[in-house]
């Protein structure tokens, strides 16, 4: 069966490039160019993945997503964001985005992300993310491990939510930076390491290792398997 993708994007050049590329891969693609049209299409269709631009005419992508999720919509959503357009990605994660891709992006990367989202089991309609004995309530931002509450900073919370959305995946530093921070990984900065260290200190104080370092590749979040 064909994979059905909804693209909500107002820039014609990007829309053409994405629509053409996905159709060449055999996907069924519908395109909407503004917020109201995107929300209408999201509500009315059965989509395997929705690609949502942040800045849209009418109302923005975050509004589309929040309204759709508030109504119980469960389609996986990948945000397409300009590099410097978002000052706080926590809002997007809380709004129910499953992943981010920063513009400009390579088509191959978009394709890989779309395929990863399609493979993922259907999301629960509720607002709790859980992996092993860790849970994050996206409404209250309350995080627990084995029932014990953890006090996290906004960035640690955003990082943990990203990990919880991608259990057992190999997550490169570039990808984590793109999703949690407003910047591309420069290959030098240790911002991520510092936050991982602090998150580990809080998260793994009384439990087993969850954030595994994969030397030269990034991180993996999960209970078992390879990594330090």
> Could you give the C-alpha distances from 201 to 152, 153, 155, 185, 216, in angstroms and in order?
11, 13, 15, 23, 22
10 or 48: whose CB is closer to Ca ion? 10
Q: Binding of Ca ion at residue 37 (CB under 5 A)?
A: no
Count CA atoms closer than 13 A to 50's CA, side-chain side.
Answer: 33
Please identify, using beta-carbon distances, which residue of 48 and 53 lies nearer to Ca ion.
53
Rounded Cα distance, 176 and 148, in Å: 26
* Contacting range for Ca ion; rule: CB under 5 A; set: 8-16, 43-51, 131-139, 206-214: 8-16
By CB under 5 A, which span of 19-27, 35-43, 51-59, 130-138 interacts with Ca ion?
51-59
Cβ at position 180, least distance to Ca ion in Å: 22
CB-based closest residue to Ca ion? 55
Query: What Rg, from alpha-carbon coordinates, does the chain have?
Result: 17
107 binds Ca ion (CB under 5 A): no
63/65 Cα distance (integer angstroms): 5
- The alpha carbon torsion through 219, 224, 225, 228 (nearest 10 deg) reads 50
Could you tell me if 139 and 213 are in contact, meaning their C-beta atoms sit under 8 angstroms apart? no
| Of the candidate residues 6, 7, 8, 10, the single one contacting Ca ion (CB under 5 A) | 10
How far apart are the C-alpha atoms of 12 and 41, rounded to whole Å? Answer: 18
CB of 120 to Ca ion, least distance (A): 26
- 53 touching Ca ion, by CB under 5 A: yes
Q: How far is the CB of 27 from Ca ion (least distance, A)?
A: 21
Note whether 94 binds Ca ion by CB under 5 A.
Answer: no
Site for Ca ion in 170-189 (CB under 5 A): none
| Of the candidate residues 30, 36, 55, 150, the single one contacting Ca ion (CB under 5 A) | 55
Binding segment toward Ca ion, per CB under 5 A, in 12-20, 50-58, 143-151, 214-222: 50-58
Q: For residue 6, which of 90, 118, 166 has the smallest C-alpha distance?
A: 118
Nearest C-alpha neighbor of 44 from the set 80, 66, 19, 75: 75
99 touching Ca ion, by CB under 5 A: no
Kindly list the residues in this chain that would bind Ca ion in the complex (CB under 5 A): 10, 53, 55
């Amino acid at each position: 069966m064909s994979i059905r993708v909804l693209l909500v994007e107002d820039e014609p050049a990007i829309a053409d490039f994405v629509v053409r590329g996905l159709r060449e891969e055999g996907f069924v693609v519908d395109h909407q160019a503004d917020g109201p049209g995107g929300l209408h299409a999201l509500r009315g269709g059965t989509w395997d993945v929705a690609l949502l631009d942040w800045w849209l005419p009418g109302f923005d992508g975050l509004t589309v997503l929040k309204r759709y999720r508030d109504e119980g919509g469960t389609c996986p959503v990948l945000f397409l964001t300009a590099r410097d357009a978002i000052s706080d990605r926590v809002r997007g994660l809380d709004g129910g985005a499953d992943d981010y891709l920063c513009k400009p992006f390579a088509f191959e990367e978009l394709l890989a992300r779309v395929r990863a989202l399609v493979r993922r089991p259907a999301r629960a309609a509720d607002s709790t993310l859980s992996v092993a004995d860790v849970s994050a309530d996206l409404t209250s931002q309350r995080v627990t491990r084995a029932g014990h509450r953890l006090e996290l900073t906004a960035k640690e919370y955003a990082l943990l939510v990203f990990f919880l959305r991608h259990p057992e995946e190999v997550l490169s530093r570039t990808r984590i930076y793109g999703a949690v921070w407003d910047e591309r990984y420069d290959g030098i900065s240790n911002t991520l390491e510092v936050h991982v260290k602090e998150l580990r200190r809080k998260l793994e104080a009384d439990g087993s290792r969850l954030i595994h370092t994969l030397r030269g590749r990034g991180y993996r979040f999960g209970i078992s398997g390879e990594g330090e």
